[in-house]
Amino acid sequence: MLGIDRLNDIVRHYEELMSVLGEPDVTADPKRFQKLMREQAELEPIVRTFQRHEQAVSDQRDALEMLEHENDPEMREMLKSELSDARSAIEETEHELQLLLLPKDPNDSKNIIMEIRAGVGGDESALFAADLYRMYCSYAMRQGWRTELASYNENGIGGFKEITFVIDGQGAYSRLKYESGVHRVQRVPETESGGRIHTSTATVAVMPEAEEVDVVIDPNDIHWDVFRASGNGGQCVNTTDSAVRLTHYPSGIVIHMQEEKSQLQNKEKAMRILRSRLYEMELERKQNEEADLRRSQIGTGDRSEKIRTYNFPQSRVTDHRIRLTLYKIDQIINGDLDELINALITADQAAKLAKMDGNDVA
């Protein structure tokens, strides 16, 4: 059932926002204007869908009233068709509104910091970690998002023992938050002469990028070490102490950063990652306290959860949380993730709707 009073309140608030946005003192304040514009953009789909719903209800009422007084067989058939269309529109808009009114994840609009770590499988797991990194970079490019490398540790043959990078784009967290967990690959490694299939794993962590207002860090809790960045020789050797190591005493988090040429830039990147890790730790603590909520969600954070298998011999990708199997591994590994992600979002929405319905019954 829809909360009509709540929807009417949303419409009134939306109309007030539209009026306020036209005031000169608001347009002269960029920060306030942007904040109000974001709120208006979030409410607009609800308002437009509710207007379609109300029109369909009105069409249904008119068709029923006319049917009561209409005797002409041809006109009655036309009215019955209009009535059927109106009822279908009511059902469709009610479902859309239920989804639009689901509680929003406050982190959905944030950029993300993604960490990929090689797991079981030695060099093959590091090569798989590199494949996952390229997959997410390709997906980000398809979405028009920007990626920025933060730090990495190579294994010497093209793989990564670990790699951390930023994905900057509207809605990045809302789309990629379901990727956290253990990813498993089954394939014949290039170094395997006997043609045997090996199983390896890599762990993906997706963290909303925290802003300074999200996490308060006491500078006294941080220790900085600076040293000369390692290089491959020649002109690339760093001749200044630009590399940094951040140690955060309360959490025990240690971050090495040497990708940038200046010490200041490396420190800024290290702080971005520290804020996001601390923010993620706090989110996980709250989720663990809200056990029912965590059970109702499609996995969005547990790094130990095996979420997906990439089977190359069978060209198969299986997401174990929603039992979805797609036979298009080449497309997926090249960044075509929308079918998987859309299915995960739909399953998550269905779980939340079912939980809401259960609470209504209770």
CATH number, position 95: 1.20.58
Relative orientation angle of helices 30-69 and 73-100, to the nearest 10 degrees: 150
In contact, 115 and 205? CB cutoff 8 Å: yes
Show the tokens assigned to 37: 């514009």
Residue 104 is predicted with a pLDDT of 81
Residues 230 and 182 in one domain: yes
138 falls within a domain? yes
Residues 56 and 166 in one domain: no
**Percent of the chain whose predicted confidence (pLDDT) is above 90:** 59
CA-nearest of 222, 229, 226, 228 to 259 is 229
Alpha-carbon separation of residue 356 from 94, 119, 235, 353 (angstroms): 15, 37, 61, 5
Residues 142 and 41 in one domain: no
30 falls within a domain? yes
In DSSP notation, 121-171 reads SHHHHHHHHHHHHHHHHHHHHHHT-EEEEEEEEE-SSS-EEEEEEEEESTT
Residue 103 is predicted with a pLDDT of 81
CA–CA dist 193, 300 (Å, integer): 38
Average pLDDT, rounded, for the chain: 87
Of 71, 100, 129, which closes a domain? 100
Residue 292 is predicted with a pLDDT of 53
Residue 5 is predicted with a pLDDT of 87
**Which is it for strands 181-187 and 306-311: parallel, antiparallel or unpaired?**
parallel
CA–CA dist 67, 62 (Å, integer): 9
358 falls within a domain? no
12 falls within a domain? yes
The enclosing domain of 171 has a CATH number of 3.30.70.1660
Domain count along the chain: 2
Give the pLDDT mean for 18-26.
87
Give the pLDDT mean for 192-219.
86
Instruction: For the chain, give the longest Cα–Cα distance.
Output: 93
Q: What is the pLDDT of residues 145-161, one digit of tens each?
A: 999 998 889 988 889 99
CA–CA dist 348, 278 (Å, integer): 25
Per-residue pLDDT band at 237 (split at 50, 70, 90): very low
Weakest-pLDDT range from 24-28, 174-178, 231-235:
231-235
Q: What sections of the chain are H helices per DSSP?
A: 4-21, 24-27, 30-69, 73-100, 122-143, 172-176, 263-289, 291-296, 329-333, 338-361
Residues 134 and 94 in one domain: no
Residues 163 and 287 in one domain: yes
Residues 238 and 281 in one domain: yes
Residue 358 is predicted with a pLDDT of 60
Per-residue pLDDT band at 327 (split at 50, 70, 90): very high
Of 70, 100, 130, which closes a domain? 100
Q: Helix, strand or coil for residue 337? A: coil
CA–CA dist 76, 82 (Å, integer): 10
Give the pLDDT mean for 210-237.
74
Residue 59 has pLDDT above 90, yes or no: yes
Which of 9-18, 101-110, 128-137, 230-239 has maximum average pLDDT?
128-137
CA–CA dist 93, 97 (Å, integer): 6
CA-nearest of 158, 177, 155, 126 to 283 is 177
Residue 360 has pLDDT above 80, yes or no: no
Compute how many other C-beta atoms are within 10 angstroms of the C-beta atom of residue 287: 15
Residue 236 is predicted with a pLDDT of 42
> Structural domain of residue 72, as residue ranges?
4-100
Residues 128 and 223 in one domain: yes
Q: What is the pLDDT of residues 251-298, one digit of tens each?
A: 999 999 888 888 899 999 999 999 999 988 888 887 776 655 445 455
Residues 196 and 339 in one domain: yes
Q: Pick the more confident residue, 356 or 103.
A: 103
Alpha-carbon separation of residue 251 from 115, 209, 212, 217 (angstroms): 18, 18, 17, 11
Residue 357 is predicted with a pLDDT of 66
Residues 139 and 179 in one domain: yes
Residue 291 is predicted with a pLDDT of 57
Residues 57 and 194 in one domain: no
Q: What is the pLDDT of residues 3-14, one digit of tens each?
A: 888 899 999 999
Q: Which residues contact 320 (CB under 8 A, 6 or more apart)?
A: 306, 307, 308, 309
Of 100, 121, 147, which closes a domain? 100
CA–CA dist 302, 280 (Å, integer): 11
Weakest-pLDDT range from 108-122, 212-226, 291-305, 334-348:
291-305
Weakest-pLDDT range from 26-40, 119-133, 223-237, 308-322:
223-237
Residues 287 and 192 in one domain: yes
245 falls within a domain? yes
Amino acid at 6: R
Give the pLDDT mean for 190-206.
85
Residue 230 has pLDDT above 70, yes or no: no
Weakest-pLDDT range from 101-110, 116-125, 309-318:
101-110
Residue 235 is predicted with a pLDDT of 41
360 falls within a domain? no
